Chains A and B, each alone.
Chain A
Amino acid sequence: MLKRSGFSRRNFLKGLGLGGLVGASAVSPTFQVMAKPSQQVSGELRILQWSHFVPQYDRWFDPFARYWGEVNGVNVTVDHINLAEIPAATAAEIAAGEGHDLIEFLSPPASFENSLMDLSDVVQEARTRFGPQVGLGERSTFNPTTNKFFGFCHGWVPDPGNMRRSMWELIGMPEGPKTWQELLEGGERILNEQGVQMGIGMSNELDSNMAARALIWSFGGAEQDESERVTINSPETIAAVAYMKDLYERAMTPEVFSWTAASNNQLLIAGQASYILNSISAYRTLQKVDAPVSDDVFVTAPLAGPNGVSLVSQHVIPIYIVPNHAKNPDAAKEFILHLVANYNQAVFNSELYTFPAFFNTAPQLLEEGGWLDVDPFGSRPINKLQLLKQAESWSTTIGHPGPANAAIGEVFGTFILPNMFAKAARGEMTPEAAVADAEAQMNAIFERWAAEGLIGGGR
């Protein structure tokens, strides 16, 4: 439920003071901070974005965008589609040279770079107005080889662990696992003693992609280095794959091979998972479906690997792109800046699912006694999400420690890493062979994108 307490006069005035916002401020029913566009805009602005996981977000966003349009003489239309359809829709529009002016991706869209406008000017302007952008936002949208911002990251979604506390309490670990080793031992005990498995996907879908990377990084491995060279075949990655095989055999069932983006939520809600890796979406769903059970779900910090490294990928990362065919790029850029100026509303209406890429725009999130300390959406205890205040320190983006380039995008889109784990877990290959197999596939992909001139400029 939307609570108006989040939009107090104090918060609104704070918003007004952000980054030296100038010009006329109009107060809409949703208290928009209305920065004066730096250039005259008009005409049509067509926006394509996903149907947000939190329906309230779309109910807020659409009138928000239209209102900006009314004030600035731009006719704004917003089309929503399933997030999985966005790459296909974008590919079709680019091939046709026709379509939306502004498209929101939920993962780095580097492979589209040649057909996208350089948004360096918007990024620079946003930094001037709103302060620094989170590092993972830049690494997801900036190509060091071409020196181009092919997208604009306005937010990101943390990917902590979610656990059923009552299950972990019964095995003497009420705070849940803190390391991958504890996850293995605790998960095995819960399965054997309580008959409940855990769910970390190894399939062709988003959550599995994120989980695979978290595990590799925590064990000290990486897909590529900072110079965009494939580094997957390392003793660290092999150890991570061997660990996952062990985890599957001792604490999971074959359903992790048919994992979908909804599986985390379904299993947690059904009481069939002791631990999952997910954003807070599963928890928020459970709050609405079964509030008492949701009280038993707690978010946990990422798990540490053998050397104490804890690192996870953002869960999804909303990135706006402006295709070369856009008929109204100026309005698109101005709207991006307007959205960022009002990002406290975006965060609030996403029920704290989406975090800001420019933290200064939503100070209520992290401030003492702010939303993460006192969840406005009824968590019990009220500070259940408090540990997300540190989320930026343990989050990164795909391709870490390098940029989220086009090759990483293809590796991501063809699910090479989840399948690498699955091959070993299913006993089809040894961990060494599974990693070597993934390396061979990745090398071919990296060579192709390097030939295209989109990666490897840092070598």
Chain B
Amino acid sequence: MGTVSEARGGPKLLDREGFLAVAMLMPAVLYIVFLVGIPFVMAVLFSFSDVSVGSPTIDRFTLETFNDVINDPVFRRSLQNSFVFTLFAQGLVLILATVLAILLNRNFRGKWIVRLLILLPWATPIAIGAINWLWLLDSVYSPLTWILREVGLIGAGALLGPRNVIWLGQETLAMASIIAIHVWRMLPLSTVIILAGLSSIPQDIQDAVQVDGASFLRGWFQVTLPLIRPILMVAMLFGIIFSFTDMTVVHVLTRGNPNNTTQVLASWAFYTGIEGGSLAKGAATAIFLMPVLLGVAILMLRVARRTEVR
């Protein structure tokens, strides 16, 4: 029996696989071209030019901008900080998300409430979340400092001294704070990804591990971890991209303070390009995100391909 379209005199447009494939891919392709491709090409062109916020048209090409950028000590510090921020944040996210995913994979009362609570930081707009943290880490009104004072850790003769903790005014504390807040924000996504991986392990394999009497650690390292490694890689690579390109936490919490010691590439590109008015310098700064992002993208494609082959 022929299909309805055949009955009407040949296949319709939507029944043609070639057309359907193009039609379904087109929105994604257009999105990438217009919101990623064109801005990226413009950023590359800008970085080799002398454009400013007041003259966003390219009059001449120059390498001077890169020379300026590389000789800028704040840029060098930002580059270093971007790696520190990403490595520490992602390391912590991966460990904590794995632990959380293991716990959430078990059955217990109120599991859905716990899952909901863990997802909340991801559902909250990051700007709002960061502003809340700004208050929590305030030098005067911080509830965290109040708690430390109440439990006797701050005060005359106390471990942390008599004065309030200046969370965002001291280099190490400020860096630790922005890393901790980024971890708080990224944890839900990684947890959900890893949880999906754990849920996909067939029950008979888990039963076999138990029947063989393997300890938790042995079962984890020799069975579970190899099985979820591809999905762990996906969580890690997504996390690296989000961390390396993020400027919201730094912009809201520290603006690079103290003394640009918490500045990262994305925030410094914004400050030089927009607030400083030198679009070319901002673009050239942002271009330095590319090698890392490119490397991560290639890795992600390889992981995806390997998973596909299996």
Q: Are A114 and B55 in contact (CB under 8 A)?
A: yes
Q: How far is the CA of A422 from the CA of B163 in the complex (A)?
A: 21
Q: Are A414 and B50 in contact (CB under 8 A)?
A: no
Residues of A within 8 A of B170 (CB): 254, 257
Residues of A within 8 A of B55 (CB): 114-115, 452
Out of B56, B163, B256, which one reaches A95, CB within 8 Å? B56
0 or 1 for each of B131-147: is its CB under 8 Å from A? (1 = yes): 00000001111000000
0 or 1 for each of B249-264: is its CB under 8 Å from A? (1 = yes): 0000011111110000
Whether B71 sits at the interface, judged by CB under 8 Å, is: yes
Which secondary structure dominates chain A's binding surface? helix
Q: Are B256 and A204 in contact (CB under 8 A)?
A: yes
Q: Are A413 and B257 in contact (CB under 8 A)?
A: no
A32-40, A264-272, A304-312: which lies at the B interface?
A264-272
Whether A413 contacts B169 in the complex (CB less than 8 A), given A95-B56, A111-B52, A448-B68, comes out as no
Residue of A nearest to B60 (CB): A451
Residues of A within 8 A of B166 (CB): 253-255, 257-258
Total cross-chain contacts (CB, 8 A) = 129
0 or 1 for each of B38-79: is its CB under 8 Å from A? (1 = yes): 000000000000101111100000001000100111100000
Whether A270 contacts B259 in the complex (CB less than 8 A), given A114-B55, A414-B272, comes out as no
**A207 → chain B, closest Cβ, in Å?**
12
Q: How far is the CA of A448 from the CA of B66 in the complex (A)?
A: 12
Q: Are A448 and B140 in contact (CB under 8 A)?
A: no
Residues of A within 8 A of B258 (CB): 203, 254, 257-258, 422, 426
Q: Are A410 and B278 in contact (CB under 8 A)?
A: yes
Which secondary structure dominates chain B's binding surface? loop
For window 144-169 of chain B, which residues contact chain A by CB distance below 8 Å?
A: 163-164, 166-169
Q: How far is the CA of A452 from the CA of B73 in the complex (A)?
A: 23
Residues of B within 8 A of A428 (CB): 259
Whether B236 sits at the interface, judged by CB under 8 Å, is: no
Out of B50, B71, B257, B271, which one reaches A452, CB within 8 Å? B50
State which size class the interface on A falls in. 35 or more
Residues of A within 8 A of B276 (CB): 111, 409-410, 413-414
Residues of B within 8 A of A409 (CB): 276-277
Residues of A within 8 A of B274 (CB): 87-88, 91
For window 249-302 of chain B, which residues contact chain A by CB distance below 8 Å?
A: 254-260, 270-272, 274-279, 281
Whether A58 sits at the interface, judged by CB under 8 Å, is: no
Q: Are A406 and B277 in contact (CB under 8 A)?
A: yes
Q: Are B54 and A112 in contact (CB under 8 A)?
A: yes
Whether A94 sits at the interface, judged by CB under 8 Å, is: yes
Whether B198 sits at the interface, judged by CB under 8 Å, is: no
**A156 → chain B, closest Cβ, in Å?**
21
Residues of B within 8 A of A203 (CB): 255, 257-259
0 or 1 for each of A70-112: is its CB under 8 Å from B? (1 = yes): 0000000000000000011011001100000000000000011
State which size class the interface on B falls in. 35 or more
Q: How far is the CA of A69 from the CA of B45 in the complex (A)?
A: 42
For window 231-280 of chain A, which residues contact chain B by CB distance below 8 Å?
A: 253-260, 263, 266-267, 270, 272
Whether A419 sits at the interface, judged by CB under 8 Å, is: yes
Q: Are A111 and B169 in contact (CB under 8 A)?
A: no
Q: How far is the CA of A417 from the CA of B191 in the complex (A)?
A: 43
Whether B101 sits at the interface, judged by CB under 8 Å, is: no
Residues of B within 8 A of A423 (CB): 259
Residues of B within 8 A of A88 (CB): 270, 274-275
Q: How far is the CA of A423 from the CA of B74 in the complex (A)?
A: 12
Q: How far is the CA of A88 from the CA of B2 in the complex (A)?
A: 60
Out of B139, B271, B278, which one reaches A204, CB within 8 Å? B271
Whether B234 sits at the interface, judged by CB under 8 Å, is: no
Q: How far is the CA of A256 from the CA of B258 in the complex (A)?
A: 9
0 or 1 for each of B170-189: is its CB under 8 Å from A? (1 = yes): 10001000000000000000
Q: Are A410 and B141 in contact (CB under 8 A)?
A: no
Q: How far is the CA of A423 from the CA of B73 in the complex (A)?
A: 12
Whether A113 contacts B54 in the complex (CB less than 8 A), given A258-B168, A410-B277, A444-B71, comes out as yes
Contacts A/B (CB < 8 Å), 25 sampled: A91-B274, A95-B56, A111-B277, A111-B278, A203-B255, A203-B259, A204-B255, A204-B271, A253-B169, A255-B164, A256-B169, A257-B259, A258-B139, A263-B139, A270-B140, A406-B52, A413-B275, A414-B74, A414-B276, A419-B260, A423-B259, A426-B258, A426-B259, A441-B72, A452-B50
Beyond known contacts A87-B274, A95-B56, A204-B256: 8 more, CB 8 A cutoff: A111-B278, A114-B52, A255-B169, A257-B258, A258-B166, A258-B258, A270-B140, A272-B140
**Contact residues of B with A, CB < 8 Å?**
50, 52-56, 64, 68, 71-74, 138-141, 163-164, 166-170, 174, 254-260, 270-272, 274-279, 281
